[in-house]
Amino acid sequence: MNKHAQDLNTLFHLEVEATAPCVVIYAPLPSERLRYTCQFIFNQVLRCSFQITHQLNTYQTAAYKLNYSDKALGDAYQILPHGLLLDDKINAFTLNWVKHEMRPLLFCAPQISQQHLLPFDVFAAVFYCISRYEEWQTVERDEHGRFEAQHSQLRQAGVLQQPIADEWIYTLKTALSHAFPTLAFPTKTFQYISTVDVDNLFAYQHKSLVRTLGGLLKDLLHLRLAAVKERIQVRLNLRPDPFDVYKRLGEWAQNDRYPLLYFFLYSNASKFDRTLTPGHKAYQQVLQHIGSAASIGLHPSYNTSIQEELLKHELDTWTQLSGQKPSISRQHYLRFDIKTTPTLLSKNGFLADFSMGFASQPGFRAGTAHPFYYYDFSTEQGTSFLLVPFAFMDGSFFIYQKLSADELYAHVLKLAETVKKVEGFLIGVSHERSFSSAIYKDFTSIYKKFGQTLTT
C-alpha cells in the first residue's frame, strides 16, 4: 500500500481488522452488485468481515449468518431479494417509499411483519443510494451541468438531511445483534473533518496591477467603500489579506484535534477560475504555512470534468511546482458527472474525490456519512476509487438559504447528531473567502466553534 492509500486508510479506517467477526450471507445467485454492497455495509460501516456463499452447508455451519433468498431457512434473519442486485442494467422505475416503525424504507417485503424477516431488502436499498443509481439514469442538470438537490429522490422523500442508508444498515446491525448475542461488532467513533476549498489564494495580495486597478474601480462603481479601504490597506501592508487564514486554520485543527484538508484551485483559465497564476511564489509561502497541519488535494478547475488534457495539465503543473503529487480532489463548482469524472480522476492517479454533496443544500447526497467506492455501471464492477461525501458547505447556508451564522451553527449541530447515531464522518466544506468578515460576518467564530464543539 502506498503512502497516499495509507493516509486514506488511517483517516477513514478502510481496512478490516483480522480479528473482526465474519457474517456469512447465503445467496443462491451471487452478483457483483451484492458483493459491492456487502463490502460497503460490512467492511466500511460495520467494520467486520463477510462471506457470500451459495453452499447451504457452508451457510448452516456459520456462527453468524444472514439468509438473502426466498428460501425459509428458519434460524437466522432473512432478507427477501427485490431483484435490483440480480439485474445487469439500469432500469427506469418509480420508487415506493414505505414508512415502517417511523422510518422510510425502500424495496419492502410483502410479509412485512413476519418473524425473522427483515421488512425490506436492505442490500438493494443501500445499493440504490451508494451506486448513485439515480444519477446514472436520465436526470435533469442545473446550469453548471450538475446533479443538484432539487432532483434528488432522497430530498423528494424528505430524508436528505439524514444518512438514511447508514440508518438502514444499523437496522440490520440491530437485527443481527438480537439474533446472535455473541456477535460483537468493532467499536467506532464519530469524526468531524474540516475541508477548505481555496478558490482564490488571496483577496488582494500578489495580484497584478491590472487586476488591482480593475477591482478598485469595480468597488468604487458599486460604492463598496469599505472594500476600497481594505484593498488599499492590504496592498500597503497595513493589514493582513482577509483570505490569508491558512496558518490560523492549521493551528485550530491541531488544537482541537480534527483532520483538516485543503483543495487548491490551480488555474485561472476561465471566468469561473479566478485564482493567482499557477506557479506564483505565493503558493509556496502558503504551503509552508500549512506544513504538516493539513493534507493537500487538487481543486480541478471548472472545465476539467469534460477536458482530460486540462486536468492532466493542472495535475502535472501542481506536481512539478509544488513537489507534491495530490491523490485527492474536489471538483471546482462541484462539476462532477458520476458516469465519467471518477474514471477520469482514477485514470490520472487520484485515489479519492470529495465532491459528493450539493452546492445548494446540506444533506447526504448518497444517503451515507461514510466513504464508499465507486460503482461503474458501464462495466458492472465496483472499483477501488473512493467517493467521500460531505454533509454541508458554507455557501449552501449563506448564498442559497440566506441563513445567519447562528442558524448555520444550529443546522450543523443537528446534522452532527444524526451522524453520531451511525458513528459516521461529518465533513464540512468552507472557502477561504468565508473567513473575510466583509463577506460572511461571524463565520470565523462559528467555524472555530465547530472544531471546539464537534470534537468533544
Where do we find the cell 463548482? 333
Query: Is residue 7 very low, low, confident or very high in pLDDT (cuts 50, 70, 90)?
Result: very high
Mean pLDDT of the chain: 92
pLDDT for residue 114 is more than 90: no
pLDDT for residue 113 is more than 60: no
| pLDDT single digits (tens) 229-264 | 777 777 888 888 889 999 999 999 999 999 999 999
pLDDT for residue 301 is more than 60: yes
CA 322 vs. chain centroid, Å, equals: 26
Distance CA 363, CA 370 (A): 13
pLDDT for residue 11 is more than 90: yes
The share of the chain scoring above pLDDT 70, in percent, equals: 96
pLDDT value, residue 333: 96
pLDDT value, residue 212: 63
User: From its phi and psi, is residue 137 left (phi > 0), alpha (psi between -120 and 50) or beta?
Assistant: beta
Query: Is residue 372 very low, low, confident or very high in pLDDT (cuts 50, 70, 90)?
Result: very high
Taking each helix axis from N to C end, the angle separating 405-421 and 443-453, rounded to the nearest 10 degrees, works out to 20
At residue 103, the 3 state secondary structure works out as strand
Strands (E), 256-409: 260-264, 295-298, 328-329, 352-356, 372-376, 381-389, 392-393
| Mean pLDDT, range 200-218, rounded to an integer | 75
At residue 198, the 3 state secondary structure works out as strand
| Mean pLDDT, range 66-71, rounded to an integer | 94
HEC string of 205-219? CCCCHHHHHHHHHHH
Pick the CATH number of 191-203+243-453 from 3.40.50.720, 3.40.190.290, 3.20.20.370, 3.30.420.140: 3.20.20.370
The share of the chain scoring above pLDDT 90, in percent, equals: 73
| Mean pLDDT, range 33-52, rounded to an integer | 98
Strand order in the sheet with 295-298: 372-376, 381-389, 352-356, 328-329, 295-298, 260-264, 191-198, 425-431, 392-393
pLDDT value, residue 1: 59
For the chain, which residues make up each domain, given as ranges? 12-179, 191-203+243-453, 205-240
pLDDT value, residue 210: 66
Distance CA 223, CA 221 (A): 5
pLDDT for residue 306 is more than 70: yes
| Mean pLDDT, range 95-106, rounded to an integer | 90
Query: Is residue 214 very low, low, confident or very high in pLDDT (cuts 50, 70, 90)?
Result: low
pLDDT value, residue 110: 79
| Mean pLDDT, range 203-217, rounded to an integer | 72
Q: Is residue 175 within 8 Å of residue 77, measured between CB atoms? A: yes
| Mean pLDDT, range 16-33, rounded to an integer | 96
Among 159-163, 177-181, 211-215, name the one with the lowest average pLDDT.
Answer: 211-215
DSSP structure class, residue 40:
I
pLDDT value, residue 440: 86
- Pick the more confident residue, 350 or 116: 350
| Mean pLDDT, range 39-61, rounded to an integer | 97
| Mean pLDDT, range 34-42, rounded to an integer | 98
pLDDT value, residue 72: 87
Query: Is residue 82 very low, low, confident or very high in pLDDT (cuts 50, 70, 90)?
Result: very high
Query: Is residue 200 very low, low, confident or very high in pLDDT (cuts 50, 70, 90)?
Result: very high
Query: Is residue 215 very low, low, confident or very high in pLDDT (cuts 50, 70, 90)?
Result: low
pLDDT value, residue 321: 87
The pTM assigned to this predicted structure is 0.95
pLDDT for residue 438 is more than 90: no
pLDDT for residue 124 is more than 70: yes
